[in-house]
A and B are shown apart, each in its own frame.
Chain A
Amino acid sequence: MAQLALLLRLARRSVLRNRRRTLIILVAIGVALWAMIFFAALTRGWENDVVHNAIFTLTGHLQAHAPGYRDDPSVDHTMSTPGSAVIRLLDNPEVEAWAQRVRVPAVVMSEHDTAGVTLVGIDPAAERGLSFIADAVHRGRYLDSPDDHGILIGRALADRLGTGLGKRVVVMSQGTDHSVADLGFRVVGLFEGDREATEMAYVFVGRGTAATMLGLGDRVSEVAVMLRDRRRLPSFVARLRAAAPGLEVQPWTTLEPMAQAMVALGQAWIWMFFIVMYVAMAFGLINTMLMAVMERTREFGMLQALGMRPRLILTQVVFESCLLLAAGTVAGVGLAAGTLALLHGGINLSFLAQGAEMWGMGKVIYPAAAAGDVIGAVGLVVVLGVLSSVYPAWRAARRVPIEAITRN
Chain B
Amino acid sequence: MTARDAGSPLSPQRPGFRLYLRLAWRNLWRNPRRTLLTLSAVAFAAVVLVFMVSMQLGGYGAMIRGAIGVFTGDLQVQAHGYHAKKRLRTAIGDAAEVEARVATVPGVTAIASRAEAYALVSSASRTYGAMIVGVEPTKEPSVSTIPRTIRKGHYLSGPSADEAVVGQALASNLSLTVGDEITVLGQGLDGSLAVAALKVVGIFSSGVPELDRQTVEMPLASFQSSFLLGDRVHTIVVRTSGLEAVPHVAAAITTTLAQHRGLVVLRWDQLLEGLKQGIAMDAAVGWFLYTALVLVVTFSILNTFLMSVLERTRELGVLLALGTRPRFLSRVVVLESAILLLLGLAFGTLAGAGLTAYAGVHGIAFSSSEELLAQWSLPARLYPRLDLLSLTLGPAAILLATMAAALFPARRIRRLRPVDAMKAV
Contacts and interface: CB of A to CB of B under 8 A. Distances in A.
Nearest to A351: B277
Contacts of B280: 352, 355
Contacts of B277: 352-356, 358
A35 interface: yes
Interface in A307-363: 349, 352-359
A359 B59 CA distance: 14
Contacts of A79: none
B300 A287 contact: yes
DSSP majority for the A interface?
A: helix
Interface string A177-220: 01010000000000000000000000000000000000000000
A13 interface: no
Given A352-B281, A358-B278, A287 B129 contact: no
B185 to A, nearest CB: 9
B118 A115 contact: yes
Given A71-B172, A258-B371, A20 B299 contact: no
Interface in B106-147: 118-120, 122, 125-130
Interface residues of A, number: 63
Chain B interface size range: 35 or more
B302 interface: yes
Contacts of B273: 354-355
A288 B308 CA distance: 11
Nearest to B40: A283
Interface string B291-302: 011011101111
Contact of B48 (A71, A276, A294): A276
A89 interface: no
A355 B274 contact: yes
Interface string B257-280: 000000000000000011111111
Nearest to A117: B129
A354 B274 contact: yes
Interface stretch (B31-39, B237-245, B319-327): B31-39
Contact of B281 (A27, A280, A287, A355): A355
A359 B301 contact: no
A295 interface: yes
A358 B292 contact: no
Contacts of A18: 310
B190 to A, nearest CB: 14
B300 A284 contact: yes
Kindly list the 10 A-B residue pairs having the minimum CB-CB distance in the complex, ordered from nearest. Answer: A284-B300, A355-B277, A116-B129, A35-B292, A283-B41, A358-B278, A354-B274, A28-B299, A107-B129, A355-B278
19 contacts: A107-B127, A114-B186, A116-B129, A160-B85, A258-B375, A261-B369, A261-B371, A280-B296, A283-B38, A284-B299, A284-B300, A287-B303, A288-B303, A291-B304, A354-B278, A355-B275, A355-B277, A355-B281, A358-B275
Given A39-B289, A290-B33, A355-B281, 13 more contacts: A25-B299, A42-B285, A72-B172, A261-B372, A276-B293, A279-B44, A280-B293, A281-B300, A285-B300, A290-B37, A355-B274, A355-B275, A356-B278
